[in-house]
Structure 1
């Protein structure tokens, strides 16, 4: 039970963190794109604001779950960090495939050879997911002890 709650708290935090980094770096600092680029700049900025709000709701929700796990002395940091990586990588892979290519809401960057950016973006996402799944599946000494006590 606690393993799944740790994982979901981490996944939500990872989604919120990846969305926040995407919004801050690629939307605001580098001005590479907006969340929705098929309209005016004003609509793009509004879509960025909604996207930013979503990322903070996910982050704050995950931190409430994190605090509850700590309060119950049930925080499994290895599982949580696995969830963070799966959440961040999953968000990035979804963004790079569904939003960029299938829905065409925006591209990573509007340049002639965008495929280099696409490949790097999606490969980093897959690496994060694999690393997160490795951490998630890894049994910690705390879990082994809990299993031994339960038997």
Structure 2
């Protein structure tokens, strides 16, 4: 049976499986590259290094849960013949871009949990961070509309 015959359920679930994986993957990239390898910041920098490290661990746990949930949804949809791969891929870009934009605007500017990097002129970093997020979101939107 074709996935399209299942209608909006398959579309929505396929998209959300990708969104969860995208969120988890982008959180992992952020946590591994910017928190660990470059040591630019922790998830929460308003306290001690130990608290910062603990919050990085919580972010890591959340990203693994998001990836596992998304992969479980993807696997179940595929087993039932309901997976719409193009929607899952679009969801992956939407999730990655959504996480990046949320992190760059809400976590960095509204909640002030941390900055991308602690330098005198943060503006180029903010622009690059949010531009990357918007690019990922645009790709996701394009992939959904191209279907």
Instruction: Give 3-state SS (helix, strand or coil) of 1:26's partner.
Output: helix
* Deviation of 1:76 (Å): 1.5
C-alpha RMSD of matched pairs (Å): 0.7
* Partner Cα distance (1:11, 1:54) in 2: 14
Cα offsets for 1:64-110 (capped at 9, x unmatched): 00100110112211111100000000000000000001111000000
Q: Deviations over 1:2-42 (max 9, x none)?
A: 01000000000000000011000000111000000000000
Aligned partners of 1:134, 1:110: CA distance in 2, in Å?
34
**Is 2:95 the counterpart of 1:92?**
no
How many Å separate the matches in 2 of 1:81 and 1:20? Answer: 18
Q: State the TM-score, normalized to the length of structure 1.
A: 0.90
Structure showing greater radius of gyration is 1
1:60 counterpart = 2:68: yes
Query: How far apart in 1 are the matches of 2:127 and 2:99?
Result: 15
Question: What does 1:1-151 align with in structure 2 at a 5 Å threshold?
Answer: 1-139=9-147
Structure 1 runs of 4+ with >2 Å offset = none
- Counterpart CA distance in 2 for 1:21 and 1:127 is 16
Unpaired runs of 5+ residues, structure 2, are 1-8
Tell me the matched-pair count: 139
**What stretches of structure 1 of length at least 5 have no aligned partner?**
140-151
